Amino acid sequence: MMEGIISDENDMVVVKTFSNGDSFLRSWENYSCDVVLMDINMVGKNGIECIGIAKPINPNVQFLVCTVFENPKYIFSGAL
């Protein structure tokens, strides 16, 4: 759903989608992007863990986190 919304925008391109955190971590460095749209609740490594590993490798990439969680402590644990 999000891929379709983003693809409809003239100034945005979906570079790659990943089905889980582990596949993201295995290959995200192979793609050039400015922003990563990250779900907190994923199979394998969750979004918070993925950001913690990925951000130091490429600190210029921004992460936009999506969640249905309402607990601010859980949500803001991903703030880097």
Do the Cβ atoms of 31 and 59 come closer than 8 Å? no
Q: What are the pLDDT digits (tens) for 45-61? A: 989 899 999 999 999 99
23-36 pLDDT per residue, tens: 999 998 899 899 99
Domain count of the fold of the chain: 1
Q: Which ranges of 1-80 would DSSP assign to H, the alpha helix?
A: 2-7, 21-27, 47-57, 72-76
Q: Indicate whether 13 belongs to any domain.
A: no
| Band of residue 4 on the pLDDT scale cut at 50, 70, 90 | confident
The CATH number of whichever domain residue 64 belongs to comes to 3.40.50.2300
CA distance 73 to 15: 31
User: What is the domain extent for residue 36?
Assistant: 18-76
